[in-house]
Structure 1
Amino acid sequence: MTPLDRPLKRELAIGETLYTLTIDPDGLKLTEKGRRKGVELAWKDIVNGDAGLAAALQASMGAR
């Protein structure tokens, strides 16, 4: 296996909107193309089953 030791970025189309998916050793981040803020999930949250809770918390903090 190739270790994940630096960020890996890929463009992703969801509907008609383009997003950037960044995967790094800490977790993953999905942002709308050209934006800085997005949804971040840590690997430990995914493994522990807390990914849904972490995403909901981020969404509620961003809605303010």
Structure 2
Amino acid sequence: ESFVLSDFLAVDEEKFLALADEHVLDLHRSGFLGWIYAHLTSLGNANQLFVHYLAKKAGEETKH
């Protein structure tokens, strides 16, 4: 099953981790670094919610 989220933008964690130290420091000083980590945490939580939803849905379908 797939989900479609229109106009959703996400930080690419691999690219983020590859940033130069100076760029990360600039993000920190400008107040964005905390928001980026909150966003990445949120993405992880969303993935867990989707997995939980699909598992619950599959369990309900086997009961019918």
Name the TM tier (shorter chain): 0.3 to 0.5
TM-score by length of 2: 0.32
Greater per-residue helix proportion? 2
TM-score by length of 1: 0.32
Structure with higher Rg: it is: 2
